[in-house]
Structure 1
């Protein structure tokens, strides 16, 4: 399974939504600010780009001791419609400083030096050290995952439903089977049984592990064909 550090790194470098929470910008609650760009440097620090006249840039420029406490909050939402659609959240706490002369005119890059990290996702709740985060790599499928899940959901409904046949007898049944998440280690599906009651109450997840981690989309296609072939036997 992917480590908590890898999962957090994947969220940071994905297209999931991100909000920078900076206390003390003239509001009773931390002011949410959405970075236009976010990247991770070789040392594990997170670099964010904001308009040069944004409150966070002004605050970081004038912060005492040249740093400003902040939290980058990431929210990962499934790219297909499923009950309980939020797949995970991560929080990266640290200190902001400006990095002049890097971003394009009218923009300013700020560096978030990390202190505390945590992730709450489909695997559970875990903390991550800045050192582990710096040493982790994002999942190689991260830039393709949303499109692949949408393709499976829209064009392979019968094959998805056939995966009910691979479940153990305690979870066997019939109903919807929606692709929920993909990574190099496996494929997670959200099953919803037929019957009365809310879809959330009738839903559960099952994960199908690949024999070996895949490295690219070609390897993923081979594993998905193998999985669907097994379900069709």
Structure 2
């Protein structure tokens, strides 16, 4: 399975929602909290671009190292409509300073020196140390995941339904009676996770591991072919 640090780095690169919170500052407008870009440097520090007039940017302009604490909060939502759609929440905490000269007019780049992180997702809740966060890499499929899941859902519904044959007796009976809906929920280099639903309240997740971790889209195509072939037998 992907490590907690890898999962956090993947969320940071691809999650649809992020907000920078600075304890002690008055509540800001949403556009002041949402970085227009975010990246991770070689030392594991975050680089976040915000409006230069935002309260966080103004406070960071006067801060020294380890003086202004801040937290970047991340929320990940499944790209396919499914009950209980939030897949993950994470936060990265540390200290905020400005980085001159990296942004255009009206914008400021802030550096969040990473102290620790925490992720709560489909795998569970775990803490992530600064060194582990620095050394981890995002999942190689992360940039394509949303598009791939949407394609699976829209164009391969019948093949997804065949996965019910791999879930055991009770699920197979309900699949045969057309009472189950199988929706692709998450995808990474290790496997595919689906949400199996009878109705909005009766759902469970199932995960199908690939024979080996995939490195790219070509490897993913082979792994998905093998999975669907096994389900069709």
| Fold similarity call, TM over 0.5 | yes
- Number of equivalenced pairs: 227
Q: Given the superposition, is the C-alpha separation of residues 165 and 65 from structure 1 closer, same or farther in structure 2, using an over 3 Å criterion?
A: closer
Q: Deviations over 1:80-101 (max 9, x none)?
A: 0001000000011111000011
Q: Does 1:177 align with 2:182?
A: yes
Following superposition, the deviation at residue 66 of structure 1 comes to 6.6
Aligned residue number for residue 127 of structure 2: 127
Q: Which range is displaced more, 12-21 or 1-10? A: 12-21
Partners of 1:160 and 1:177 within 8 A in 2: yes
Q: Which structure 1 residue ranges, 5 or more long, are not aligned?
A: 194-198
The 5-angstrom pairing of residues 209-224 of structure 1 reads 209-224=209-224
Following superposition, the deviation at residue 170 of structure 1 comes to 5.0
Larger helix share, 1 or 2: 2
| Aligned-pair Cα RMSD in Å | 1.8
Partners of 1:96 and 1:112 within 8 A in 2: yes
Following superposition, the deviation at residue 227 of structure 1 comes to 0.8
Following superposition, the deviation at residue 16 of structure 1 comes to 2.1
SS in 1 for 2:47: strand
Q: Deviations over 1:2-40 (max 9, x none)?
A: 000000000001142101111222349xx9700010000
**1: distance between equivalents of 2:18 and 2:67?**
21
The 5-angstrom pairing of residues 14-93 of structure 1 reads 14-27=14-27, 33-63=33-63, 67-93=67-93
Q: Deviations over 1:154-208 (max 9, x none)?
A: 1111111111001123543321000000000000010012xxxxx3421100000
Q: Given the superposition, is the C-alpha separation of residues 95 and 176 from structure 1 closer, same or farther in structure 2, using an over 3 Å criterion?
A: same
Partners of 2:49 and 2:108 within 8 A in 1: yes
Moved over 4 A (4+): none
SS in 1 for 2:207: strand
**1: distance between equivalents of 2:66 and 2:127?**
27
Q: Given the superposition, is the C-alpha separation of residues 32 and 118 from structure 1 closer, same or farther in structure 2, using an over 3 Å criterion?
A: farther
Partners of 1:5 and 1:128 within 8 A in 2: yes
TM-score under structure 1 normalisation?
Answer: 0.92
Partners of 1:21 and 1:32 within 8 A in 2: no
Q: Given the superposition, is the C-alpha separation of residues 192 and 67 from structure 1 closer, same or farther in structure 2, using an over 3 Å criterion?
A: same
Partners of 2:15 and 2:75 within 8 A in 1: no
**1: distance between equivalents of 2:149 and 2:118?**
26
Q: Which structure 2 residue ranges, 5 or more long, are not aligned?
A: none
TM-score under structure 2 normalisation?
Answer: 0.92
**2: distance between equivalents of 1:177 and 1:27?**
41
